[in-house]
Amino acid sequence: MPNFDQQPPAGGGAPTPQGRGGAPGGAPPAGGRGAAPAGGAAPQGRGAAPPAPPSALALKYPWPAKPVLLGTRVKRIDGPDKVTGRAKYTHDINRPGMLYGRIIRSPLPHARIVSIDLSAALKAPGVKAAYNVKEPGAQVMYQGDTVAAVAADTEERTKDAARLVKVEYEALPHFANEEQAMDPDAPVVFMGGNTRPGTAQDVGDIEAGFKQSAHIIEATYYTHVITHVCLESHSIVAEWEGDKLTAWCSTQGVFPSQQGLAMGLGIPAANVRVITQYMGGGFGSKLQAGAEAVIGAKLSQMAKLPVKLTLDRKEEHLDTGNRPSAGAKVKAGVTADGTLTSYQADSWGTGGAGQGVGNLPIPYIYTFPNRKRTHKDVYINSGTQRPMRAPGHPQACFLTEVLMDELADRVKMDPVEFRIKNAPVQVPSAMYRTYLPEGAKLFGWDKRHATGDPTPGPIKTGFGVSVHTWGGGGSGTQAHCDIMADGTVVMKCGTQDIGTGTRTIVALVTAETLGLPITAVRAEIGDTNYPRSGGSGGSTTAPSAMPAIRLTAAKALEALFVKVAPTLGVSADTLVATNGRIHVKDDPTKGVTWKDACKTLGADTISVDHMWEAGLSSVNSSGAQFTEVAVDIETGIVKVKRILAIQDCGLVVDRLTCESQIYGGVISSMNFALYEDRILDRVTGQMVNPNMEMYLLAGMSDIPKIDIILKDMPERGVVGVGEPPTVSLSAAIANAVRNATGAAIRSLPLHPHKILAAIEQQKAGGTL
């Protein structure tokens, strides 16, 4: 019987870096381990054969030592299209005769559907289709759970008709939070129980470790639930031609959505084409087609007309995923000289209805030789979690890094020094021993005061730091390159640009490889008609796609060399492509322009396929983030004053889009720390802030200066950077607040009420 627990099997693999069996350099759970590509490439998952040795092509085309475009600041090639509105997002797609779909959702957190009456809706003006998503007798398990759907000829009429669907519910017991679900007297709401234990972990000798400890901290830490808040909501435009479906989806994976639509509709996957040209944010919530896409396609199938179904903000908050909560009751020890000893944690978390928080990598990064853990997944009646930007890491980072500052204080060590002392062994993917002192120097860490700002007056400032890790390796992507006789170059790849700049870097790497300006190549992505690539998640897009693009372009170039070589009277293997010309490597004058070279194709087109190979990408990265905050101790309000983010991502493809990922990640982490909070009414289980007014997000005035230090490691190849920068700032902010006020802040978000309460408690001498 395999082990299906949320935690890794004890002995097999710890959820911590220590699990690496003495070589903790790599990421904790991060590792980028697991499944192989969704499509195309040979399976390389666990137990599969090791990756094939590099092909001759891969050996000939490593990343260039002296690149022209790679690592420079290249503007997005579709930037002008986006700012002028020429770029069509899913919601901008309009088809002839198109209807608008809408989902009727449960207002209650748990109920049995007694009856659904579609008759009034079906008679309403403009309505062309309506159906029961769930049948009477079925249960709705959270507010926002799907019940029925309707499509009509205008958006307004659809909304009106949706309100005419009469649903009768029989309310059932519900849980609005973990405490209610964990109550031993609570009724059983979920099959198999309201909570589920994870596998216990017991490594080393926990009690011996505590005996060695000069100081022991026992405290409870907690991070709350937030939602993805994609600016572009989940949406689909579905159009059928006979039994074939074309679906414009706001998705992070055209191929995953293709399979999801096919299986959801019960049709062959070959009959589904998914297109995603532009996407406005997913953060993990768009790695599946989602019920919303299946419902849109089904309405279209029933009405025999195209249907656009776009979720509104409230639906986004309720039913397109969330980041699970995570709590841990922790006991941790440290010796007098600042060496970590034992870490004991009883953790829990909820991912909503029937879903847990999953594998929490605690203790995060640092080396506790003795560890003992229990875990409990808790199920409540809220929308179910979907993966959210570095699943498990922001929570685990907070649970660990806040503790680290408290432990450092006990042994009177500087937090940076304390972290370095307990950091894992230095390897390229785990450079904490380098990044921490470097960041400290750049940040002016020497100006940090000890815990508790001694400055008079209500404004206290403080410094905080935290580190993070992530996987972000690549594999498996396929690509296709056409070079045409007129010099045109088209690179096709079934990856997608989820707002990160993938289209730009596909063009960039193609251009770099062919020695052309970026404007001379066309990148075609975001379509299941193109060669297979994985979903854009796990920071895998660039490390999966860029090697494939590089080698596919190289293969096409080699084919062009073969055509051109005879006209120059040289052999093909002497040729290179630089600066818009193809020429003999050692004699740049002996060559032709790109255009003239392509003329040798005559009626032919070079048309080649290739795929990702090992050697051009790596897995795992590390980073550190520093922040300074100001806390008004008379109002409890925290202002972040400045941020420094140090991040490695191997070979930088486009410095501009890479930095952009870090800005986004850092701001998102700040929102997690200070503002975002999915608040369910504890009595009714209904969300009180399903909007962007009372669900707070930083505006421009709330975001301070963010300095980014990108650590170039071109020798490692491409490493994804989408997730790592969003992990650690929230913990750094909490540490800075503690440094400013002297009050222990052990849970998020850092709302004024919590700050004021912590300050009160600290005044009473109750925090340490």
Among 484, 684, 707, 709, binds another protein (CB under 8 A): 684
Tokens of 743: 């009050």
Give the nearer residue to another protein in terms of CB position, either 501 or 749.
Answer: 749
**Where is 350: in which H helix or E strand?**
strand 340-350
Rounded Cα gap, residues 395 and 223, in angstroms: 6
Q: Tell me if 619 contacts another protein by CB under 8 A.
A: yes
Cβ-based neighbours of 1, under 8 Å, separated by 6 or more: none
Among 59, 171, 263, 768, binds another protein (CB under 8 A): 263
Among 35, 83, 200, 768, binds another protein (CB under 8 A): 35
Which of these segments, 206-214, 467-475, 513-521, 577-585, binds another protein (CB under 8 A)? 467-475
Rounded Cα gap, residues 136 and 17, in angstroms: 49
Binding to another protein, residues 693-722 (CB under 8 A) = 693-694, 696, 698-702
Cβ-based neighbours of 403, under 8 Å, separated by 6 or more: 217, 219, 221, 330, 332, 363
CA distances from 711 to 15, 435, 716 (A): 27, 9, 11
Binding to another protein, residues 473-512 (CB under 8 A) = 473-477
Q: Tell me if 392 contacts another protein by CB under 8 A.
A: yes
β-partners of residue 299 are: none
Report how many residues bind another protein under the rule CB under 8 A: 140
Minimum gap (Å) between residue 575 Cβ and another protein: 32
Tokens of 280: 């406005």
Do the beta carbons of residue 478 and residue 530 sit within 8 Å? no
Do the beta carbons of residue 297 and residue 247 sit within 8 Å? yes
Q: Measuring CA to CA, which residue among 284, 591, 307, 630 is closest to residue 462?
A: 630
Tokens of 384: 């179910």
Tokens of 390: 């570095």
Among 10, 25, 37, 403, binds another protein (CB under 8 A): 37
Minimum gap (Å) between residue 254 Cβ and another protein: 11
Binding to another protein, residues 179-208 (CB under 8 A) = 190-192, 196
Which letter, b or e, does each residue of 640-668 get, where b requires 16 or more Cβ atoms within 10 Å of its Cβ?
beebbbbbbbbbbbbbebbbbbbebbbbb
Helical ranges in 355-498 per DSSP H: 393-410, 415-422, 432-443
Q: Tell me if 547 contacts another protein by CB under 8 A.
A: no
Minimum gap (Å) between residue 276 Cβ and another protein: 14
Q: Tell me if 114 contacts another protein by CB under 8 A.
A: no
Minimum gap (Å) between residue 395 Cβ and another protein: 10
Whether cis (ω within 30° of 0) applies to the bond prior to 749 is yes
> Would residue 518 be called left, alpha or beta, if left means φ above 0 and alpha means ψ between -120 and 50 degrees?
alpha
Give the nearer residue to another protein in terms of CB position, either 51 or 280.
Answer: 51
Tokens of 45: 């998952």
Rounded Cα gap, residues 209 and 206, in angstroms: 5
Give the nearer residue to another protein in terms of CB position, either 543 or 665.
Answer: 543
Give the nearer residue to another protein in terms of CB position, either 438 or 702.
Answer: 702
Among 632, 656, 663, 714, binds another protein (CB under 8 A): 632
Q: Tell me if 97 contacts another protein by CB under 8 A.
A: no
Among 215, 689, 709, 714, binds another protein (CB under 8 A): 689
Q: Is 237 helix (H, G, I), strand (E, B) or coil?
A: strand
Among 175, 255, 343, 348, binds another protein (CB under 8 A): 255
Among 25, 71, 101, 253, binds another protein (CB under 8 A): 253
Cβ-based neighbours of 242, under 8 Å, separated by 6 or more: none
Rounded Cα gap, residues 161 and 176, in angstroms: 30
Rounded Cα gap, residues 263 and 294, in angstroms: 9
Among 217, 427, 562, 757, binds another protein (CB under 8 A): 757
Give the nearer residue to another protein in terms of CB position, either 163 or 585.
Answer: 163
Rounded Cα gap, residues 16 and 340, in angstroms: 14
Please report the sign of the dihedral spanned by the C-alpha atoms of residue 712, residue 716, residue 721, residue 724: negative
Minimum gap (Å) between residue 63 Cβ and another protein: 17
Give the nearer residue to another protein in terms of CB position, either 85 or 192.
Answer: 192
Give the nearer residue to another protein in terms of CB position, either 156 or 712.
Answer: 156
Tokens of 125: 């003006």
Minimum gap (Å) between residue 581 Cβ and another protein: 35
Minimum gap (Å) between residue 321 Cβ and another protein: 7
DSSP for 285-310, written as a single string: TTSS-HHHHHHHHHHHHHHTS-EEEE
Rounded Cα gap, residues 751 and 755, in angstroms: 7
CA distances from 274 to 90, 227, 239, 249 (A): 11, 25, 11, 7
Whether cis (ω within 30° of 0) applies to the bond prior to 363 is yes
Among 269, 336, 442, 768, binds another protein (CB under 8 A): 269
> Would residue 281 be called left, alpha or beta, if left means φ above 0 and alpha means ψ between -120 and 50 degrees?
left
Minimum gap (Å) between residue 308 Cβ and another protein: 18
Which of these segments, 212-220, 255-263, 581-589, 648-656, binds another protein (CB under 8 A)? 255-263
Give the nearer residue to another protein in terms of CB position, either 5 or 596.
Answer: 5
Interface characters, 558-587, with another protein (x: CB under 8 A): ------------------------------
Give the nearer residue to another protein in terms of CB position, either 61 or 190.
Answer: 190
Give the nearer residue to another protein in terms of CB position, either 623 or 636.
Answer: 636
Rounded Cα gap, residues 652 and 673, in angstroms: 28
Q: Tell me if 456 contacts another protein by CB under 8 A.
A: no
Do the beta carbons of residue 32 and residue 538 sit within 8 Å? yes
Which letter, b or e, does each residue of 720-737 get, where b requires 16 or more Cβ atoms within 10 Å of its Cβ?
bbbbbbbbbbbbbbbbbb
Binding to another protein, residues 346-385 (CB under 8 A) = 349, 351-359, 361, 377, 379, 384-385
Q: Tell me if 427 contacts another protein by CB under 8 A.
A: no
Among 25, 71, 101, 256, binds another protein (CB under 8 A): 256
Give the nearer residue to another protein in terms of CB position, either 198 or 742.
Answer: 198
Residue at token pair 């907690």: 222
Give the nearer residue to another protein in terms of CB position, either 13 or 437.
Answer: 13
Q: Please work out, in degrees rounded to the nearest 5, the angle formed at the alpha carbon of residue 157 by the alpha carbons of 156 and 162.
A: 100
Minimum gap (Å) between residue 352 Cβ and another protein: 8
Give the nearer residue to another protein in terms of CB position, either 259 or 600.
Answer: 259
Taking residue 603's Cβ as centre, other Cβ atoms within 10 Å add up to 5
Q: Tell me if 286 contacts another protein by CB under 8 A.
A: no
Minimum gap (Å) between residue 38 Cβ and another protein: 5
Binding to another protein, residues 135-174 (CB under 8 A) = 138-139, 141, 143, 146, 156, 159-160, 163
Minimum gap (Å) between residue 299 Cβ and another protein: 15
Which of these segments, 287-295, 365-373, 512-520, 562-570, binds another protein (CB under 8 A)? 287-295
Please report the sign of the dihedral spanned by the C-alpha atoms of residue 441, residue 446, residue 451, residue 457: negative
Binding to another protein, residues 290-349 (CB under 8 A) = 290-291, 293-294, 321, 324, 349
Among 36, 172, 182, 302, binds another protein (CB under 8 A): 36
Give the nearer residue to another protein in terms of CB position, either 5 or 438.
Answer: 5
Residues in the chain: 768
Give the nearer residue to another protein in terms of CB position, either 97 or 125.
Answer: 125
Q: Tell me if 260 contacts another protein by CB under 8 A.
A: yes
Q: Tell me if 668 contacts another protein by CB under 8 A.
A: no
Binding to another protein, residues 51-70 (CB under 8 A) = 51
